Amino acid sequence: MTNKKKVKSRNLGYFKDLAIILTQKEMKVRYKNSFLGYLWSVLNPLAFAFVFFVAFQVVMKIHMKDYVLFLIAGLFPWQNFTNSINASPMVFLMNSTLIKKVNFPRHILALTLVLHDSVHFVLSIPVILFFMFVYHRVPSLSLVWGVPALLSVQILMTYGIALFLASLNLFFRDLERLTTILTTALFYFTPVIYSETMVPDKYRVLLKLNPFAMLMISWRNLFLNGSINPVYAGAALGYGILFFCLGYFFYSKLAWKFAEVL
C-alpha cells in the first residue's frame, strides 16, 4: 500500500470514528433528562397520524383505503427529514466551544445530526411493519435493499441542506425561525398526508419541481407496494447530489469565518 493510500485510509478511519463519537454524543445530549427518550420519535408521527385521520376521515369524510397506514408510511420518513432540517441552523452555534478549541472538520457536526435522526428512523421502521400486519399487508423483500437505498439518498439530501443552513445561520441568525416556517409550508405542498394522484393534472408537474415529493412518494410506495419508481428515485438522487454540492460549497466558502463570528 502506498503512502497516499495509507494516509487516505487513516483519514477515512478518523472521519468514521469522529462521526460515530459525535453521533453518540448527540443522542445522549438530546435525550438527557427525557423520560420517554427515543419513544418521542415514534409517538410524534403517530400523534399526527391520529390527528389527520380524525380530520380527514372522521370529520371531512374523505374516503381512502387503509388511511392510517398511508399516513404512517409518509409521516415517519418526513419526520426524519424535518427533525434534521429544523435543528440544523443551530448545529454550529450549539457546538461553538468545540469549534473554537478543537481543530477538526466542522462539517462532521452536520453529518452527525443527520445520522442521529436517521438511526431513529431506522429504529422506527418496525412500527410501520406492525401497522402493515394490522392492515394485512405483507412486507416485501424489496425493503431489504430499498430502505438502505432511499435512506442513503435522504441522508445525502438532508446533509447538504443542513450544511447550508448551519453555515448561513452563523451570519443570519433569523434563519432558524424561517426554516421552521418553510418546512411547515413545505409539508402541505408535499404529498405526505394525501396521495399524488389527488393533485389536479395541471398542478402535477409542480410535484416534479418539489425535490422532497419525489423522495416521500418513493418511501410510501416502498412500504405500501414494495416497489420504487426509478424515475422518482432518480430525480430524488439528482436533487440530493445538487443539495449536497450547494451545501458543501457554501460551507467551504464560509468555514474560515466560523471562529470569528461564534
Cell of residue 135, nine digits: 392492515
What number of helices (H) and strands (E) belong to the chain? 12, 0
Label residue 113 exposed, middle or buried (CB < 10 Å: 0-12, 13-18, 19+). buried
Q: Are 258 and 99 in contact (CB under 8 A)?
A: yes
Label residue 7 exposed, middle or buried (CB < 10 Å: 0-12, 13-18, 19+). exposed
Place of cell 405542498: 189
Residue 215's pLDDT is what? 94
Find the range with the poorest average confidence among 37-46, 48-57, 162-171, 203-212: 37-46
**How far out from the chain centre does Cα 154 lie?**
6
Residue 34's pLDDT is what? 52
Residues 101-127 have a mean pLDDT of: 84
d(Cα 167, Cα 170) in Å, to the nearest integer?
Answer: 6
Residue 219's pLDDT is what? 95
Find the range with the poorest average confidence among 51-55, 120-124, 241-245: 51-55
Residues 104-128 have a mean pLDDT of: 86
Cell of residue 207, nine digits: 410535484
Note the pLDDT tens digit of each residue in 161-205.
999 999 999 888 888 889 999 999 999 999 998 988 888 888 888
Contacting residues for 112 by C-beta, under 8 A, at least 6 apart: 19, 22, 23, 25, 26
Q: Measured at the alpha carbon of residue 254, what is the angle toward residues 158 and 86, in degrees to the nearest 5?
A: 30
Q: What does the longest C-alpha to C-alpha distance in the chain come to?
A: 68
0.75 exceeded by the pTM?
Answer: yes
